[in-house]
Structure 1
Amino acid sequence: MFSVDFGFPVLGANVLDTGINFGIYCKNKKNIVLNIFDSADDTTPAIVLKLDEKLNKTGDIWHIFLREGKEGVIYSWDIDDALDLLDPYALSYTKNKKRAIAVKKDLFKVRHLNTPLNDTIIYEVHIKLFTQNNNSLVEFPGQYKGFVEKIPYLKELGITAVEFLPVFEWDEYTGRYNANNELLENVWGYNPIGFFAPTKKFASEDSNSNFNEVIEIKELVNELHKNGIEVILDVVYNHTAESGNDGWVYNFKAMNNSGFYMLEKDGIEYKNYSGCGNTFNCNNIMSKDIILNSLKYWYLDIGVDGFRFDLAPILGRDENGQWGGHSVLNEIIQDPILSHCKLISESWDLGGYYVGDMPTDWSEWNGKYRDVIRRFIKGDFGQIPELLKRIFGSPDIFKRDNRSPYSSINFISCHDGFTLYDLVSYNTKHNFDNGENNQDGENFNNSYNWGEEGETDNLDIIALRKKLIKNFFLILMISQGVPMFLMGDECGRTQKGNNNAYCQDNTLTWFDWDRKKEFEDLYEFVKQMIKIRKTYSIFRKNSYWECEEDGRNDITLHGVKLNSPDFSYHSLSTAFELMDYEANTRFYIALNSYYDDLEFELPPLEEDKKWYKLINTSENNSFNFSETPIDKLSYSVKARSSIILISK
């Protein structure tokens, strides 16, 4: 039997050599009880410890010390009438009936890779969905260990960082049913219970009471680092699984509802900038404490290299929902440790669009990049002026306060929306399986099916779709900024037109590894485009392309005619020349979204050099580098295709 002492006001369960100190923050509460369980399956606690306000409370923190307590103790809290609550600072939770597990902190033993942003190529991926399919041929499908088995695939592809969809333990309940009346579960993970504990859903052992998930995610991070791949976590601090007035009570509501959440003026209803029923009040002092400590735990103890903040503007809002001023966003970038992480924001929420408005040294998902690249490849008019701005690092958005092109995270598809293959295969979303009568998901996708809705046996349509995807990847890899692409886009992954597959844990969302064989040419194209980006510094330049003071031109704009870029409304093509001074090499890039072939005049070169074809997306073997120089003064770029020429 344990003995107890007063303890000290430190939050969470701190495992020491002599026992465990438990601490929890509770505002204006009177009856606080710590429950200790013999096993995770017990319905009643083995030990009930009622805390004394005079002895076990310092300020608003209640605390107690369990002598001889060891790592692995299972516990919960009662706060007034709210019973069996979770410690939000817990490092692990049991799997079924959720309770907290006391785990000893242990700093990560491996140094961070610190890959420069200009060398970074991000692969957005879901740990489970990546290997869950039987044709993944891994020993541990859908698990942390299963992901380790696929690291060679990622290394061969050439990516430098994985961006994991949420791994904080989450509530999978959706309340939605499919057509077969089966309850749909949230598989993406954007519904956190706490901000420290990694999910057990990906752990290899189906054990309710151990903390193997902590060990295994550390092992995964370590193995990725050994292979030169960083880990960025998609973190959700903007709301919790407690939802609105009818939602569960896990912890924060009972601890201090009006402090942890933004409430309407009536003090009852929840503000909802997240679209998920509640909005976490990120700039309350206790909210800041848990966010900052959570980030440091994942960075220092788990070993991840950076974070992508879901609906980041919410972290910049005060308790009234007003955006701006000093916030936890500023504190993160000023922190002596966290300021050295990769910090990426999704710079919009239900209250506004703030791309370009994050503090200096943040990088941001560039939704404007996504939209204009989609429109240009689809063949919409009026895109050329903005297209060039996005390819050239979006200086109109980010060129301020010493920000670089790497403030822009360039992407065309991500988890939220169509896959790249579906973007060229569907005119409209097909989300009926989500149980919301196709009302969920984005309606404006800038997509086009090119002749048939969905999958087809028409070889011409398939070939065109592949070519368009190659065009997407070519633009992505030559653009200034940090390229990011979605799991499986390199081999034609499809979700059959579902653009909001958050509740589809089935073959619809599982990575289909047979697809790689079917789209081997696309995979090879993506791999080679990544290699080209890594090889030539002009595509990774730290500053914006421009005409420099010493007279060295990084870039020269053209159209079908030399030095005559066509910015007119009906223009569907553009071309430009890049000079890589480090490699003493010129590149000529032409992009044609017109329905017919276009003849582009080629810039003259020095007498000892010629233009050579490097890439042509209209050819089956797009990377069939030609040893034969181009002797003509022009080059025919096929309809809806792109080329890169190189000087030699």
Structure 2
Amino acid sequence: MWARTLGRVASAPDLPPPLGAFVDDDGCTFAIMAAHATGVELCLFGDHETDGPQRIVPMTDRIHGVWFVHVPGVQAGQRYGYRVHGPWRPDQGQRHNPAKLLVDPYARAIEGDVAWVPQVYGHVVNESFSGDPAVRDDRDSAPFVPRSVVVDNDFDWGPHEQPVEERRVPWPETVIYETHVRGATKLMPGVPEHLRGTYAGMAHPAFIEHLLGLGVTTVELLPVHYFVDEPALAHRGMSNSWGYNTLGFFAPQIRYSAAPDALGALTEFKELVRALHAAGLEVILDVVFNHTAEQSTSGAMLSFRGIDQGTYYRLDERGHDIDVTGCGNTVNTRHPTPLRLVMDSLRYWVEECHVDGFRFDLAVALARGRTDEYDRDHPLLMALRTSPVLSRVKLIAEPWDVGMHGWRTGQFPPPFGEWNDRFRDTSRSFWLADVAVPAHHGHGVRELATRLAGSQDLFGTDDRGPLASINYVASHDGFTLADACSYQQKHNHANGEDNRDGHGDNRSFNHGVEGPTDDEEVLANRRRSMRNLLATTLLSTGTPMILAGDEFGRTQRGNNNAYNQDNAISWTDWDLEPWQEDLQATTAYLIGLRRTYRVLRQATFFSSHPRPGDGRVDLLWFGRRGERMTWESWEDPASRTLQMLLLGEDVHGDSLLLVLQGKPTKSVLHLPIQEGSDHSYELIWDSTWERPDPAGGGVVSAGQPVTLGPTSVQIYRVR
């Protein structure tokens, strides 16, 4: 409705139109925030024109720093860009340069890519891209940069698309599947070849059936916002595969589209969301608002830096970037303009593209206050918490950045969930790193128990509850699950950085052989370790997340930073061996246990009052001899056995015993006796099983001894 009355509203002397390009019956209104500019030109391009604009339209109307113009006859599909005039005062943070064609920060579609030539820089550089950032370059960049594209919002969501609150999967039921649009289906045989690696490929029934077969509820997509390759990668003939280098926060990445044009990419993305919703699955986007693709002041001028650098980026008193992201710049969310950009982008993806939530990359960088310290009451966090739209979708923080005091796990306010790196490190240490060293160098079981029970030490304030803990042992960033069990060291040589990139603290264990091997004993131990880690992730209290392909042991050949590997290293290989099919069946079985037993889906900590529908659960801990854990056993660093008894209100149908045995040899233990209760235990899963056994493992009386295999997990139903 707003777009169809733009002509009247835009003529009001005190109210600018919304930012971006909005079509109406008569044409299109363009609006851009450039508060320090002295003039702005809208450049309209033809369908195939690359060397110059078809038409230049001066934007003469300005209100509150917003420049705008209504252009009759312009409709969806029009390609455009901006040239911004203004001061060139680098030491004061101003770098206006009208020779550079700039992408609209609010463009709903973007096509083309950056050609990494000296002309795309706002300052003079040589062929090796070094130069003086203070000297302006007046060469035209238009032939070498992307075009913004006008869109409309017409899309048929169909009669069955529900409002976001009605289709929302409750947090206790949520199981997240982190995946990459291109990598997920690039090699998937059930998807037609021309659709593989695209939004349409991910929307294909073959991929959706795989998700439903696993039992996951929520698909978390690595960045789909329009991004460009870093110049260093382009010069090495490589590309950014992950996409954490955003240039357009409203436009879907056209590289992931089977459709050849930007409008088709937007439609195709919406079709993907519609297909996943029809299958009952949520869609979460991994969003990168902490920095942009323009890098530092010595980088290219593609959009924000030429529009109003001092507004969009955090700068010091000399006009240099304050970088807490490791990517050259930090978006200045303390200022209303970029804060509004973030909020408008998020609302757009929820309201127009129907996504169900967001994972915020390097979220601490978004929430640093005016003195650059982390502020849990930062304006952006406050805006998200109070938004009637965004406070009702899933919000997940990556709770760190690379700046000083950047680690903030557990310190984000509700309703945020957070990636729990302490869960990852503790789980890997217990099952992998501690097995590779003598027992007296281990960490015991105390912290493992804390993570199994929902990490109350991290998430116990503000009535947040354990579901705020996103429990994972592998993500896109680091070793895959299989590689954590197969490699002692990272092997990132293919990245072209002499193996210097990637994290060195992997808490991994190769089980005696680095990488591929034909040793069946080593392979069996690795497979059991994978099952142990999957069970720890999927059965712990909190919200589980698994990395795509970990359900069947996908490898990246030891590469723990495959951000630039758009090839078989990072693509999911669907040609499964028998052991991989077994592991996939195990993953689905464990997710099914979580769905079946309410004691595994607690919304409150065990010492707290239950929330509605949560039920009352008692949590008891026992040692190897079936005795209650004592202070001495909790503090013993050599302790490697833990029994976790979850007693629901219906003891006979909803109670489980989880037994974790971390010794590299077989171990005999006694199952716990509950005073005043006549009960036994039915073994329903054992991580020494290569495949789940529908018949189970028999019934054992309380207090009776059982034998556990080396480094293994057993799950019993209390009878």
Counterpart residue type for residue 497 of structure 1: G
User: Kindly tell me: are residues 317 and 628 of structure 1, through their superposed partners in 2, closer, same or farther at Cα, counting changes over 3 Å?
Assistant: closer
User: What is the distance in 1 between the residues matched to 2:459 and 2:188?
Assistant: 44
Counterparts in 2 of 1:27-176, with a 5 A limit?
27-52=35-60, 56-80=61-85, 81-82=97-98, 83-96=100-113, 97-106=145-154, 109=157, 110-111=161-162, 112=164, 113-133=167-187, 135=189, 137-139=191-193, 140-149=195-204, 150-176=207-233
Q: Which residue of 2 aligns with 1:227?
A: 279
User: What is the distance in 1 between the residues matched to 2:508 and 2:678?
Assistant: 45
Q: Which secondary structure state, in structure 1, belongs to the residue aligned with residue 37 of structure 2?
A: coil
Q: Deviations over 1:139-183 (max 9, x none)?
A: 411011111121111111100001000000001235148xxx951
Q: CA deviation at 1:620?
A: 2.6
Q: CA deviation at 1:553?
A: 5.6
Q: Which residue of 2 aligns with 1:214?
A: 266
Q: CA deviation at 1:609?
A: 4.5
Q: Which secondary structure state, in structure 2, belongs to the residue aligned with residue 596 of structure 1?
A: coil
Is the contact made by 2:433 and 2:507 (CA closer than 8 Å) also made in structure 1? no
Q: CA deviation at 1:485?
A: 0.8
Confirm or deny that 1:633 pairs with 2:697: no
Counterpart residue type for residue 712 of structure 2: S
User: What is the distance in 2 between the residues matched to 1:548 and 1:124?
Assistant: 32
Counterpart residue type for residue 95 of structure 1: G
User: What is the distance in 1 between the residues matched to 2:480 and 2:616?
Assistant: 40
Q: CA deviation at 1:387?
A: 0.6
Unaligned runs of 5+ in 1: none
Confirm or deny that 1:520 pairs with 2:525: no
Q: Which residue of 1 aligns with 2:668?
A: 599
Q: Which secondary structure state, in structure 2, belongs to the residue aligned with residue 514 of structure 1?
A: coil
Confirm or deny that 1:418 pairs with 2:472: no
Q: CA deviation at 1:319?
A: 4.5
User: What is the distance in 1 between the residues matched to 2:587 and 2:420?
Assistant: 21
Q: Which residue of 1 aligns with 2:343?
A: 292
User: What is the distance in 2 between the residues matched to 1:558 and 1:153?
Assistant: 38
Q: CA deviation at 1:326?
A: 3.0
Question: Which deviates the most, 195-204 or 377-386?
Answer: 377-386
User: Kindly tell me: are residues 344 and 542 of structure 1, through their superposed partners in 2, closer, same or farther at Cα, counting changes over 3 Å?
Assistant: same
Counterpart residue type for residue 378 of structure 1: L
User: Kindly tell me: are residues 307 and 61 of structure 1, through their superposed partners in 2, closer, same or farther at Cα, counting changes over 3 Å?
Assistant: same
Confirm or deny that 1:342 pairs with 2:394: yes
Is the contact made by 1:89 and 1:196 (CA closer than 8 Å) also made in structure 2? yes
Is the contact made by 1:347 and 1:358 (CA closer than 8 Å) also made in structure 2? yes
Q: Which secondary structure state, in structure 1, belongs to the residue aligned with residue 28 of structure 2?
A: strand
Q: CA deviation at 1:255?
A: 1.5
Counterparts in 2 of 1:184-333, with a 5 A limit?
184-207=238-261, 210-267=262-319, 269-324=320-375, 325-333=377-385
Q: Deviations over 1:264-306 (max 9, x none)?
A: 2322x21110100101111210011110000000011101000
Q: Which residue of 2 aligns with 1:9?
A: 17
User: What is the distance in 2 between the residues matched to 1:215 and 1:166?
Assistant: 17
Q: CA deviation at 1:256?
A: 1.2
Q: Which secondary structure state, in structure 2, belongs to the residue aligned with residue 589 of structure 1?
A: strand
User: What is the distance in 2 between the residues matched to 1:137 and 1:106?
Assistant: 27
Question: Which deviates the most, 16-25 or 99-108?
Answer: 99-108
Q: Equivalent of 1:359, from 389, 397, 413?
A: 413
TM-score, length-scaled by structure 1: 0.94
Q: CA deviation at 1:222?
A: 0.8
Q: CA deviation at 1:19?
A: 1.3
Q: Which secondary structure state, in structure 2, belongs to the residue aligned with residue 390 of structure 1?
A: helix
Q: CA deviation at 1:91?
A: 0.3
Q: Which secondary structure state, in structure 2, belongs to the residue aligned with residue 330 of structure 1?
A: helix
Is the contact made by 1:40 and 1:74 (CA closer than 8 Å) also made in structure 2? no
Counterparts in 2 of 1:501-516, with a 5 A limit?
501-515=562-576
Q: How many residues align?
A: 635
User: Kindly tell me: are residues 409 and 107 of structure 1, through their superposed partners in 2, closer, same or farther at Cα, counting changes over 3 Å?
Assistant: farther
Q: Equivalent of 1:368, from 418, 422, 440?
A: 422
Is the contact made by 1:421 and 1:469 (CA closer than 8 Å) also made in structure 2? yes
Q: Which residue of 2 aligns with 1:387?
A: 448
Counterpart residue type for residue 210 of structure 2: Y
Is the contact made by 1:90 and 1:102 (CA closer than 8 Å) also made in structure 2? yes
Q: Which residue of 1 aligns with 2:127?
A: none
Confirm or deny that 1:562 pairs with 2:626: yes
Counterpart residue type for residue 86 of structure 1: V
Q: CA deviation at 1:518?
A: 4.4
Q: CA deviation at 1:322?
A: 2.4
Is the contact made by 2:296 and 2:321 (CA closer than 8 Å) also made in structure 1? yes
Is the contact made by 1:372 and 1:383 (CA closer than 8 Å) also made in structure 2? no
Is the contact made by 1:491 and 1:516 (CA closer than 8 Å) also made in structure 2? no
Is the contact made by 2:620 and 2:646 (CA closer than 8 Å) also made in structure 1? yes
Q: Which residue of 2 aligns with 1:495?
A: 556
Q: CA deviation at 1:223?
A: 0.7
User: What is the distance in 1 between the residues matched to 2:661 and 2:317?
Assistant: 54
Q: Deviations over 1:450-499 (max 9, x none)?
A: 01101111111111111000000111111111000101001110000100
User: What is the distance in 2 between the residues matched to 1:88 and 1:238?
Assistant: 15
User: What is the distance in 1 between the residues matched to 2:578 and 2:202?
Assistant: 20
Q: Which secondary structure state, in structure 2, belongs to the residue aligned with residue 84 of structure 1?
A: coil
State, as a whole percentage, how many aligned pairs show the same letter: 33
Unaligned runs of 5+ in 2: 1-6, 86-96, 114-144, 435-441
Is the contact made by 2:291 and 2:330 (CA closer than 8 Å) also made in structure 1? yes
Question: Which deviates the most, 470-479 or 374-383?
Answer: 374-383
Q: Which residue of 1 aligns with 2:141?
A: none
